[in-house]
Structure 1
């Protein structure tokens, strides 16, 4: 037998072995964990009044769950809760105002939820704060706000619901991180830091909670069309930064619909999987970054060179933060951003 034939047979055998091992692992873990159902469960979705959180809440209501949502804006919470109530059974939706960075707010909201709907079966830590701008334009406050929202918020909620889940030896926690929790985002460093903290916390929590029958899943979406760019905090050259972000967020193939990402996340919760990265191009990017980290960081450095600098002289480049909707331009409202504009209307982001 020639060397090429031996190599080909070895490659085929290795592929079949890997495929068989993966299939066996998936089947075994599914049998051990069981297939989770949302029907009849009490589910809490933070940041559930708009965007990705609202999309997830809709799907949970449709699956027969009792759903509680919270956010900081009372009007948005009311509109979202009214919509969810129309989609579900009477008395099975709760909406409340809650600042996830305030532990007393978290306790007060969860007390209301458990009194109205019962113990929490699924916690979705989704509340987030998108911020973009060059490093030189960011402040310590940007980092503090990101960590408060993306790490301390999920920590406060998880610490409150874990005891009830452990006592019943059953429960699910879905932590909505970001591809930024796996790969640094150029001009998104404060956001990246917060999401990296959430990924680390989520993985560590899973490793200890699983023995109590509680499965923690981390979802790291890439670009998805939720309509959220309008509420992003922008620093630096506001109009340029915002238009670029919104256009990328709207591109088919590079971005995915919020509904697609929500389905992927909830399927992972049902299976008790540790992580899902969606859409697939971002999963490939995360894998590449993990294996070829130095090369990947060099490529990100090249991207950073092409990005606009912060205005002003070096050493004096901090600029005021503005919301996306404050810096709209004809370009950011063009046909290039049509998908994101429609998503904003659909998902209570306007």
Structure 2
């Protein structure tokens, strides 16, 4: 037998062994974890009044869960809670105003939830703050706000519900991070820092909670069409930064629907998996970044050269942040962004 034939056979054998091991691992761990059902469970979704959080809440209501949502805008919470109540059973939806970065707000909201619906079975830490702009245009407050929302918020909620989950030896926590928590985002440094912190916290928590029957899942979506660009905080050259973000967010293939991402995240929760990344191109990007980190960072550096420069400071102040809806242009309202604009209407983002 030639050397090449031996090599080919060895390669095939190694591939089959790896595939068999992966399948066996998946079947074994699934059997150990059991199949989780949302029916009859009490589920809390932070940032559930619009966008991805609202889509997840709809899915949970449809699955027969009692759902509590919170956000900072009272009108948005009311509209979302009314919609969810119409979709579900009477008395099984709670909406409340809550700043996730304020621990007393978190405690007050969760007391309302448990009084009305009972102990929390599933916690979805989804509240987020999207911000974009060159690092030179960011302030310390931008980083503090990102950490307050993306790390401290999930931490405060988890600290309140986890002890009871451990006591019951049952529970699920879904932490909604971002591909920015796995791969640094160009002109998204403050956002990246907050989401990286959440990934680290979520993965560390999972290792210790599992012994108590509690499974922590991290979802890292890439671009998904929730309609959220309208509420993003934009620094630097506002119109150029926003146009690039909104157009990319609308491209089929590169972005996915919020409904598809929610289904993937909740399926991972049911199976007790540690992580899910959607859509597919971003999962590949995260794997590439893990395997070839230096090369990946060099490539991102080259892409960074194509991004808009930071404008000079205005006096002693950097350029002010503006919301996406404040810097709309004919381009960002064109057919190029149609999918995102329709998602904004559908998901309470307008």
CA distance in 2, matches of 1:327, 1:41: 42
Cα distance in 1 between the residues matched to 2:329 and 2:3:
62
CA distance in structure 2 between the partners assigned to 1:341 and 1:166 by the alignment: 42
SS at match of 1:152: helix
CA distance in 1, matches of 2:168, 2:14: 42
Gaps of 5+ in 1: none
Deviation for aligned residue 1:300: 0.5
- Pairwise CA RMSD of aligned residues? 1.1
Contact 1:55 1:262 in 2 (8 A): yes
Could you tell me how far 1:315 is from its partner in structure 2? 10
Q: CA deviation at 1:71?
A: 0.2
Residues 152-199 of structure 1 deviation map (CA, whole Å, 9 limit, x = unaligned): 000000000001100100000000000000000010000000000000
CA shift at 1:4, angstroms? Answer: 1.5
Give the direction of change, closer, same or farther, for the CA distance of 1:305–1:316 in structure 2 (3 Å limit): farther
Question: Tell me, what secondary structure is at the counterpart of 2:48?
Answer: coil
Q: Distance in 1 between matches of 2:160 and 2:243?
A: 39
Q: Counterpart of 1:306 in 2: which secondary structure?
A: coil
Separation of aligned partners in 2, 1:316 and 1:307:
24
Cα pair 1:69 1:81 within 8 Å, conserved: yes
The answer to whether the Cα contact below 8 Å between 2:225 and 2:339 also exists between their aligned partners in 1 is: yes
CA distance in 1, matches of 2:275, 2:314: 40
TM-score (norm 2): 0.99
- Paired with 1:316 and 1:105, the residues of 2 have a C-alpha distance of 35
* 1:349 partner SS: coil
Structure 1 residue 35, shift from structure 2 partner: 0.3
User: What is the TM-score of this pair, normalised by structure 1?
Assistant: 0.99
- Aligned-partner Cα distance in 1 for 2:74–2:151: 23
Structure 1 position 212, deviation (Å) = 0.4
Unmatched 5+ residue regions in structure 2?
none
Contact 2:68 2:113 in 1 (8 A): yes
Bigger drift between 310-319 and 163-172 goes to 310-319
1:287-306 Cα distance to aligned partner (Å, 9 max, x none): 00001000000000001111
Structure 1 residues 11 and 314: CA distance shift in structure 2, 3 A:
farther
Asked if structure 2 preserves the Cα contact closer than 8 Å seen for 1:136 and 1:317, the reply is: no
For residues 100-249 of structure 1, the aligned pairs below 5 Å read: 100-249=100-249
Instruction: Name the count of aligned residue pairs.
Output: 350
- 8 Å Cα contact 2:313-2:319 kept in structure 1: no
Contact 1:311–1:317 (Cα < 8 Å) also in 2: no
For the 8 Å contact 1:124–1:174, the answer to whether it is kept is: yes
